[in-house]
């Protein structure tokens, strides 16, 4: 990733933070977008300690203006925007769809589907259309099957999976667009799913443990780098073997 610049949304914690550090360790300049200024400050210090250039942008993916603002900052600071990692997502709805507040559902769909499209379009117009690049969308294994209480989130990730393939077709051959689908990873966002009974949840995985953010970051780095130069429109599932574990 030497000489390239990567913009990561939601890059201050969990999977996003691990991807930021993996890209920095691989030689990339990194832009980080997140909502909390204290987390941005801490993340910037950590990336600088790795010896990588970094910029931070405070904002939410739900704000339609943030995509252009973040990509403009990348261009002003690094002169390029080679890759976008659409990692940030929201999940304020924890209820059956028949009971969920429709305003909250619409908020999930806008942030998790239209948000990645806005960031991809901004990078395409500013850099990728002429110079090429790669886009990585972070989806979920929930995109492939229904699950209780998080239907709105899973639907948004299913749509983002199809958006990945659609954009891969539209932006080829200059830009590769792939997705990564994590299984159950020990992050704050997923805490309600794994913390109450981690042992039992781990036994449901063929590899005997839950994922950690670095497990996903390794796959993300592969998809962003030239190691996957002949891949586009693909979804890489990293789930610890949950899909093949004995029931």
> Cβ distance 179 to 138 under 8 Å?
yes
Q: Reply yes or no on whether 39 is catalytic.
A: no
Cα–Cα distance list, 186 to 106, 217, 225, 244 (Å): 27, 13, 25, 20
229 CA to centre of own chain: 19
What DSSP character marks residue 63? S
| Mutual angle of helices 66-78 and 115-123, in 10-degree steps | 30
Decide: helix, strand or coil at residue 229. coil
Helix (H) or strand (E) holding 49: helix 37-49
Cα–Cα distance list, 24 to 41, 127, 144 (Å): 16, 20, 31
178, β-bridge pairs = 136
Token representation of residue 182: 């994590």
Catalytic residue among 9, 153, 179, 223: 153
Q: Mark residue 86 as left, alpha or beta (left: phi above 0; alpha: psi -120 to 50; beta: remaining).
A: beta
> Cβ distance 242 to 206 under 8 Å?
yes
Neighbours of 108 (CB within 10 A): 23
- Catalytically active residues are 153
């Amino acid at each position: 990733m030497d000489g390239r610049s990567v913009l990561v949304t939601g890059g201050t914690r969990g999977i996003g933070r691990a991807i930021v550090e993996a890209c920095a360790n691989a030689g990339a300049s990194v832009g980080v977008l997140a909502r909390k200024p204290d987390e941005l400050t801490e993340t910037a210090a950590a990336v600088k300690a790795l010896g990588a250039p970094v910029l931070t942008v405070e904002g939410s993916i739900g704000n339609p203006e943030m995509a252009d603002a973040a990509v403009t900052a990348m261009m002003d600071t690094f002169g390029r925007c080679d890759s976008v990692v659409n990692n940030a997502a929201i999940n304020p709805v924890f209820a059956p769809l028949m009971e969920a507040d429709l305003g909250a559902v619409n908020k999930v769909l806008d942030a998790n589907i239209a948000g990645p499209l806005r960031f991809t379009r901004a990078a395409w117009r500013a850099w990728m259309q002429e110079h090429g690049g790669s886009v990585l969308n972070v989806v979920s294994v929930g995109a492939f099957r229904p699950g209780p209480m998080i239907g709105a989130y899973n639907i948004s990730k299913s749509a983002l999976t199809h958006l990945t393939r659609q954009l891969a077709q539209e932006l080829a051959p200059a830009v590769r667009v792939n997705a990564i689908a994590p299984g159950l990873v020990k992050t704050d966002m997923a805490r309600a799913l794994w913390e109450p009974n981690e042992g039992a949840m781990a036994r449901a995985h063929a590899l005997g443990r839950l994922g950690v953010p670095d497990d996903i970051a390794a796959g993300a780095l592969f998809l962003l780098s030239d190691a996957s130069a002949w891949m586009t429109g693909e979804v890489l599932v990293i789930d610890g073997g949950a899909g093949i574990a004995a029931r």
